Amino acid sequence: FDPNDIAGPAGVGPGNHVAPGLMPYTVRFENDPDRASAPAQTVTVTHALDADLDPATFRLGDIGFGDTLLDVPDGLTHYEARVDLRATHGLFVDVVADLNAATRTATWTFRSVDPATGAPLDPVSIAGFLPPNGDYGEGEGFVRFTVSPLAGRGTGTRINAQARIVFDTNDPIDTPPVFHTLDAGGPASRVLPLPAQVAAPDFVVRWAGADDAGGVGVAGYTVSVSEDGGPFRVWLADTVATEAVFPGRAGG
């Protein structure tokens, strides 16, 4: 587990396949006590959108750090807030989140502010909004966003994601990269033709299916049956088999 990482939607299989649509992401960051001996005054998170994502669909999600949660209103690509931590940290935190559509880059900035001057804290100060992490997650934070693929991106399109995190003036920390593969076409299946009559009540039923090229494939089948024109009912649920013996009824 890397304390600074990016996580996307849950995918299927080694290709991490997902259906085209809204893709939620979370970037997490931590003032790692093994690396830091003092609180962080400024934290910057940046994320460049993959070329196959549509920046027009980008929307900011909630933002949090320590025990602070900012409920970002829906539908925004820019957000600003001042968090009052004078009682606990002796400072304000200015939070700014923004998408630069021209560069396709989203940026979140957390900056500690001196309440007395309204200016950023003196860099030599040992104060800051994000202390080295402890047992209660006081040194952790996150940002969330959603975005969708560009229209027309087909099955097999790979969507890459990676974020960069900077604590104060330290070297950037790149999160481990993640990827997803689009599966734009649903699988198709059919029951193979049955004879009009069989000589015994029990008879073999066969079926087949396939996904579009480059898709994740068929995970299983649910086979339903209708007897004498009645309503369909599930016979086999979520089976990986492609044939089975149906226990028919004489004259049915």
pLDDT in tens, 60-101: 999 999 999 999 999 999 999 999 999 999 999 999 999 999
- In what side-by-side order are the strands of the sheet with 243-247? 188-191, 202-210, 243-247
Strands 17-18 and 178-182: parallel
Percentage of the chain beyond pLDDT 90 is 83
pLDDT in tens, 150-207: 999 999 999 999 999 999 999 999 999 999 999 998 899 999 999 988 999 999 999 9
Does pLDDT of 5 surpass 80?
Answer: yes
CB of 210 closer than 8 Å to CB of 218: yes
Per-residue buried b or exposed e for 72-111, using 16+ beta carbons within 10 Å of the residue's own CB? beeeebebeeebebeeebebbbbbebbbeeeebebbbbbb
DSSP 3-state assignment of 230? coil
Does pLDDT of 21 surpass 60?
Answer: yes
Residue-level pLDDT at 122: 85
Give CA–CA dist 136/165, Å, rounded.
Answer: 21
Give CA–CA dist 123/106, Å, rounded.
Answer: 25
Instruction: Assign 2 a pLDDT band (cuts: 50, 70, 90).
Output: low
123: amino acid identity, one letter: P
CA torsion angle for 72, 77, 80, 85 (degrees, to 10)? 40
**For the whole model, what pTM was predicted?**
0.86
DSSP 152: T
Cβ atoms within 10 Å, residue 183: 25
Q: Residue 244 corresponds to which tokens in the numbers above?
A: 């089975």
